[in-house]
Every structure is written in structure tokens, then in C-alpha cells.
Structure 1
Amino acid sequence: MLRPAPWRVFRQFVRHESDTVVGSLVLERSMNRVQLLGRVGQDPIMRQVDGKNPVTIFSLATNEMWRTGENEEAQGGDISQKTTWHRISVFRPGLRDVTYQYVKKGSRLYVEGKLDYGEYTDKNNVRRQATTIVADNVIFLSDNVKEKV
């Protein structure tokens, strides 16, 4: 016989048709997380619409590399690379200001956040879709590259 506490926990994960009552709220776990490691493509800009919701925006490039050819594990073959550009938006007040002040083109960053889809109307009144990473955390990474004399 099940005790009441484990039975309640079990019922949180199992949903029966009889539980679907109009107006009842069913909570489910979900996740929307993005982790990126790359280089900044442009100096950040700060935008503000109607005096509210200021946001710092910049682009981040990530690279994917692979070897092509007959024997991919051997030294031979060509190395191919694909660069993907991501639009990063920072809304959190402290992080937004620090990012705007210290991030520069070419900086190496680790960004954590969530994926967000939106629409906007461009200059020609055409509706466009935009994919943005809304950053929750930005970590500044240093390059240990020293200039050769």
C-alpha cells in the first residue's frame, strides 16, 4: 500500500484524463537554456524604447570545425569551418551596464541564457522574425596570447 506522500509525488508526474478539468492548472517542467562560447563581432550598443526596458545588444560568433576527406582521423584531408552568428540581448540591469561598458569587438565570452523568438517591422514595413539569446550570465574570458617581438 502506498503512503499518501509518495502517491502525491507520483500523481505530479502522471496525468490522467479524469484530471483534465476545465480551469485547472497543470504544471510541467520544461527547459530553455543556451550556452555559447565565442568572440564578439561588434561593440555592444544600448537601446531603449520609450524610456523603458533598456537593453545591451551585441553579436557573438561561434565556430564549428571538421575534417573532410577519405580518412577523417588521419592528418590528411581538408579542415572545414562554419561560423554562426548569434544576437545577444542583455536586459538584467547590472549585467547590462557592465556588458555595455567592458565588452569590445573581439572579446572572448561565455554566455548563458535562453532562446527567444520575436517579430519586428523593418524600415520598409516588412515583418521579419528575429532569434535572440537573452543572456542571464556573461563571463569574460582572457586570451593568454602574447605578442611576438
Structure 2
Amino acid sequence: MFRKPTLQIIRHCIRCQSNEANSLILERSMNRVQLLGRVGQDPVMRQVEGRNPVTIFSMATNEMWRSGEGETSFTGDVTQKTTWHRISVFRPGLRDVAYQYVKKGARVMVEGKIDYGEYVDKNNVRRQATTIIADNIIFLSDNLKERE
């Protein structure tokens, strides 16, 4: 009934009463993201000296809502908000597949974790960056242009 990862999570979440010897056990935590949307640009592969290559692409997710008299009202304006995500793929097999088969406009689902970091831009200004580190990519459709 339960999948193996679910059982592992449940096992780690259930804790017996701790005594002083067990109080040094670190708690488990979770950082998981699932995104379903469309690819905004063809992937690029980058490699920094001494590090493994990484495939990077952008992905858009959309949120839509209707503003009106009530939640069940079918009148009112429909508003859409698009959020852009930077996807980085480090896993060797997945990195190569993403670089070869992910195309602009394709509908994909990305599973992974969120990572916050900092970098210094070309003007020597410190900036913050949010990246999704992909563990899995599910291809849901072909490129929009190929379907027309």
C-alpha cells in the first residue's frame, strides 16, 4: 500500500521518548519541490573549472484566479500570474537527457529540491539566486511548435 520512500519517512518521523543518550540524534527534515509547467528556453550545459557540468533551463508555472463577487461566481476578470524558475540538473544521466531532449515550449514536470545561494555579478554586486536542483524530469508533451 505504501511506497518504500513513504515508509522511510514515517519511520523517521516516529520517535520514541528520548533520554540523554538519544538526545543527540538529529531530526530529519525534507526539501522537496514539484513543478508542472512549460520550458522557457532550450537548455545550456555549463562547466566551471574542476567541477562537474550542469544543465540549466528556465521553466514557467502559471497561477490563475477569478476576481469577482464570490468564490463561486463565474463573473469577473481572470488574472494570471506567471512564475519563472531556474532549473539545474547535476545528475550525470539526467543532465545529458535534459540537455538533449528538453526543448523550449515543452510541458514537463520537475521534481527536486530548492536551493538558495549568492553570487557576485559583473558589477561586483552581491545577488541572491533561487534554483531548483532537479532529481527527476517527466516529459509530458512535445514542443508546441511540433504539434501545430
Instruction: Tell me the TM-score normalized by structure 1.
Output: 0.81
After superposing on structure 2, the runs of 4+ consecutive aligned residues of structure 1 that deviate more than 3 Å are 11-16, 18-21
Distance apart, 1:74 and its partner CA: 2.4
Q: Deviations over 1:46-100 (max 9, x none)?
A: 1100042100000110000011011331221111111000110000001000100
Q: Which residue is 1:62 aligned to? A: 61
Matched, 1:42 2:45: no
Q: Which has the larger radius of gyration?
A: 1
Q: Which residue is 2:17 aligned to? A: 14
- Cα contact 1:34–1:113 (8 A) shared by 2: yes
Q: Which residue is 2:133 aligned to? A: 134
Q: Which residue is 1:71 aligned to? A: 70
> 66-75 vs 110-119, which deviates more?
66-75
Measured on the aligned residues, the alpha-carbon RMSD in Å equals 2.3
In structure 1, the gaps of 5 or more residues are 1-8
CA distance in 1, matches of 2:88, 2:68: 39
CA distance in 1, matches of 2:127, 2:22: 37
- Cα contact 1:87–1:133 (8 A) shared by 2: yes
Q: Which residue is 2:103 aligned to? A: 104
Identity %: 74
- Cα contact 1:71–1:77 (8 A) shared by 2: no
Distance apart, 1:13 and its partner CA: 4.2
In structure 2, the gaps of 5 or more residues are 1-11
Partner amino acid for 1:134? I
CA distance in 1, matches of 2:70, 2:116: 40
Instruction: Tell me the TM-score normalized by structure 2.
Output: 0.81
Matched, 1:88 2:87: yes
Q: Deviations over 1:89-139 (max 9, x none)?
A: 000001000100111111100000001111111101111111100000000
Q: Deviations over 1:13-53 (max 9, x none)?
A: 4345x4488xxx42211100000000011111111000421
Q: Secondary structure at the match of 1:52?
A: coil
